[in-house]
Amino acid sequence: MELLLISSLTIGALHSLAPDHWIPFVALARAQQWDRWKTTYSVLLAGLGHVSSSVVIGLVGIAVGMATEHVSGWETIRGDVASLLLIGFGIAYMIYGLKQIGKHHTHSHTKARTVSYWTLFILIIFGPCEPLIPLLFASSAFGWVNVVTVVAVFSAATLIMMQLQVHAAVWGVSLFKFHIFEYASDAIAGAVIVITGIAIRVFGI
């Protein structure tokens, strides 16, 4: 069981390196000028939803006695669909950003940015935590207490790594003071999200 916990910690941290776990948040945080608190709770909320969705699917699979490969198959399909949706979201946000260039911020602009975050939130929830499924099934052999422990360790590793990456990247990007970043921030954010979705789709990262 100790080895399983170490695996949960390691895999949880490493799988969070995938670009869709942090780059879209960096793009929105930079474009929408989130402060540290908003960045933190936005990433935390989305990360909890992301892990929870796979936990639910995995627990249902365990409860009904499904094979690991069947549940993992569901997660693979979710991953394929999520990458396409991420690309679509990025394109839509980029087009919106291009239309906003040169315009003053209005209430509708603020509302659109809020909608953009919640759209990303839904996409992140829909995206799978594929490495978690085999860990859940393996831990189920040791009882439900150990299943909960594995979920807690994996979740903590995932959320902490997401926070570290996003905050570090936002800080790094903030060092570049190019005017275009301010002038066309939403369009650039959309383009970055599109590239992220394509990278996930093409390279399976």
For 8-53, the pLDDT digits (tens) are 999 999 989 988 899 999 999 988 889 999 999 999 999 999 898 8
Rounded average pLDDT over 93-114 = 74
The model carries a pTM of 0.85
Calpha distance 189→93 (Å, rounded): 8
> Are the C-beta atoms of 154 and 12 separated by less than 8 Å?
yes
Which residues, including other chains, have CB under 8 Å from residue 29's CB and lie 6 or more apart?
Answer: 38, 39, 42, 166, 170
